[in-house]
Amino acid sequence: MRDNILRWGGLIPLLKVVASTTNFHIVKCGTWAISNLNRGRPVPKFYLVKETTPVFCGIIKQHDEDDIQSDACWSMTLLSKEDETIKTVIETGVVPSLIKNIG
């Protein structure tokens, strides 16, 4: 089902809602839902989930809640398997926030 949701563009409306709200519960549930679309075997094609990168980076920079941070960071880890994806993550400027979360 994940692949069908991604192929038919179901990710984009979810990203827009999560990126445009300040409602804690929507951000928390949306982050969890989006992170689940990045998981699984086989790993989804990067072009289908690339748009999650800036949203997750924004979430990591803006939210301190552990569950939100955990889902966003796990997703970033899953996305960072190839040089193209690693470069995309680095270009967002999120690395200092990720390092802060390690400690």
pLDDT tens per residue across span 38-91: 888 888 888 888 889 889 988 988 888 889 988 998 888 877 777 777 888 888
What pLDDT sits at residue 24? 93
Domain count along the chain: 1
Could you tell me if 2 and 36 are in contact, meaning their C-beta atoms sit under 8 angstroms apart? yes
Give the CATH number, domain containing residue 91: 1.25.10.10
In the structure encoding, which two tokens stand for residue 34, read together?
Answer: 């989006």
Structural domain span for residue 39: 2-102
What pLDDT sits at residue 33? 95
What pLDDT sits at residue 53? 86
In the structure encoding, which two tokens stand for residue 28, read together?
Answer: 């928390």
In the structure encoding, which two tokens stand for residue 95, read together?
Answer: 């690395």
At 103, the pLDDT band (50, 70, 90 cuts) reads low
Task: Assign 3-class secondary structure to the chain.
Answer: CHHHHHHCCCHHHHHHHHHHCCCHHHHHHHHHHHHHHCCCCCCCCHHHHCCHHHHHHHHHHHCCCHHHHHHHHHHHHHHCCCHHHHHHHHHCCCHHHHHHHHC
